[in-house]
Homo-oligomer: A and B are copies of this chain.
Amino acid sequence: MSSSPKSTSKEQDSLTKRTEIPQSHPRAKSLRIREKLIQHFKSGVVASAGLIAHGRGEAFDYLLGEKTTQPALKAIEAAAATLLTAKHPVISVNGNAVALASKEIVELSKITKAKIEVNLFHRSFEREMTIKKVLEEAGATEVLGIGEAASARIPEVGSERRRVDPKGIPIADVVLVPLEDGDRTEALVRMGKKVIAIDLNPLSRTAQFAAITIVDNVVRAIPTLTEIVGKLKTKNKKKLEDIASTFDNKKNLGKAIDLIHRRLSKLAEKGVYLPILEVDEP
């Protein structure tokens, strides 16, 4: 939100309305992302827990400098090669991912021939249908995991996210999970899936368990992934397998943590502040 004065004080929550964010605003991009999320919260795509999760992501993105870092690019390249050599790739999406990047998800699914499957922690048929509609409006021709279609289960996952579509995750070899939860990533890995995670927190269980972790905002990571897939598409299988097999996730995560670490270090020395979390504090 900009800090322009409001004409009335009778608004329960001015975030429910479209707000003009000037292009020049230093936080314009992040505020637009937040606005998109809030709109999708109102439409039922995003759960209230999704707003809290987004806040956590914002904090890590802010520590990373809100840009796609070198380690993220490295992971994206490995992810692109892995998706291109996969037999049955699946993109497993939740409310936040669809709210923030529905078009980007559909584009990626088309170029990689990956299925899109909806897997929600806070599941309801209504919510699933709303999410399906958003994906279809973004160009998706098939959306797995809706309603009774999610008839299979991932073992050892307690939440509703264990429900999966027999046409999707159970037969997948590679699963891309933007905004994943740790329990589920661990379970998918135990099932023998190659998990590609997009997670802004390089210290999370998801980040540590995935085969490839892209420490980046989905809003930036997914279109970049699509672009790199486009570039690698012409390479032969051997070359792609080389890229995927030489990628070291632990080492790459260490570099992402080190980036935050060095950024904090510089800031602590300088005694400067980072004003970017400060807008729209309630």
Contact = CB atoms under 8 A, between A and B. Distances in A.
Interface of A: 1-6, 9-16, 34, 37-38, 41, 44, 46-60, 94-96, 120-127, 157-160, 162-163, 179-183, 201, 203-208, 250, 253-254, 257-258, 260-261, 264-265, 267-268, 271-275, 277-282
Contact of A265 (B56, B207, B261, B280): B261
Main secondary structure of the interface of A (DSSP, over half): helix
A281 B13 contact: no
Contact of A203 (B122, B258, B274): B274
Contacts of A14: 122
B280 A268 contact: no
Nearest to A37: B52
Given A56-B56, A264-B264, A271-B250, A124 B12 contact: yes
Contacts of A264: 203, 257, 260-261, 264
Contact of A282 (B13, B121, B204, B208): B121
A181 B281 contact: yes
Contacts of A120: 282
B281 A180 contact: yes
Given A59-B56, A273-B204, A126 B160 contact: no
Contacts of A257: 264, 267-268
A275 B182 contact: yes
A273 B158 contact: no
Residue among A3, A47, A123, A250 with the highest chain B CB neighbour number at 10 A: A3
Contact of A278 (B54, B125, B183): B183
Contacts of A203: 264, 267, 273-274, 277
A47 B52 CA distance: 12
